[in-house]
Amino acid sequence: MTTEEGPVRVAVLVSGGGTNLQTLLDALQNSPVARVVRVISSRPGAGALERARRAGVTTTVLANPADPNELLVALRDAQLVVLAGYLKLVPPVVVAQFRGRMINIHPALLPDFGGPGMYGHHVHAAVLASGARESGATVHFVDEAFDRGDIIAQEKVRVEPADTPETLAARVLEAEHRLLPRVVLDLARRM
């Protein structure tokens, strides 16, 4: 995809509070490389929508996240799609249209601790229960299954003996916030 027309146009899919979206908005502000052009939420109450509005970014709330046509319309002007705290499965026809240009951030070291139901608190509780000495964040390409696409980059964090799911989540989230903007800018430079 050539992008003589300026920064790569990034759409961000969200469901929650949007701290990953916020780090992207901050990192891409005034960037000549990439720009968040739309934030698309699977639910109307997502705090991420308020972050988008504050940044002056167009928002869309999906009436039915399982409807491929609605999502394709919302993604019509996107060149790169980032799932940031997005909790719905992307319909296969949308995955196919954006293959190699749709990425997700997951709060664990895939391929471990991923898949259906592995989100938020559940991920970190499973990591602690496993006795793993490290965890971290993964950015991967999106395919038809949750958390299964090719891994692009990871950042590891230590698991501390006194960790709770909450303290581990906070340490992993800091890694996510470092990793995601770096990967988005790297990918955008190569588009």
Q: Taking the complex as a whole, how short is the minimal distance between the CB of residue 93 and ligand GRF, in angstroms?
A: 23
Strands, sheet with 134-141, edge to edge from the N-terminal-most edge strand: 58-61, 34-41, 8-14, 80-83, 102-106, 134-141, 151-158
Closer of 73 and 145 to ligand GRF (Cβ) = 145
- The 10 Å CB-count burial string (b at 16+, else e) for 45-68 is ebebbebbeebebebbebeebeeb
19: amino acid identity, one letter: T
Shortest separation between residue 23's beta carbon and ligand GRF, angstroms: 8
> Based on CB atoms, which residue is closest to ligand GRF, 155 or 176?
176
How distant, in Å, are the alpha carbons of 7, 35, 81, 120, 181 from that of 11?
12, 9, 5, 22, 13
Least distance CB 74 / ligand GRF (angstroms): 18
Identify the active-site residue in 106, 124, 140, 177.
106
Which position has the token pair 């991967």?
140
For ligand GRF, the binding residues (CB under 6 A) are 16-21, 48, 84-85, 105-107, 119, 173, 176
Supply the minimum distance, in Å, between the C-beta of residue 106 and ligand GRF.
6
Handedness of CA 11, 12, 15, 18 (dihedral sign): negative
Q: How far apart are CA 191 and CA 179, in angstroms?
A: 19
The residue sitting closest to ligand GRF, measured at its beta carbon, is: 85
Between 3 and 19, name the residue whose CB sits nearer to ligand GRF: 19
Q: Which is nearer to ligand GRF, 119 or 141 (CB)?
A: 119
Q: Is 106 a catalytic residue?
A: yes
The catalytic residues are 106
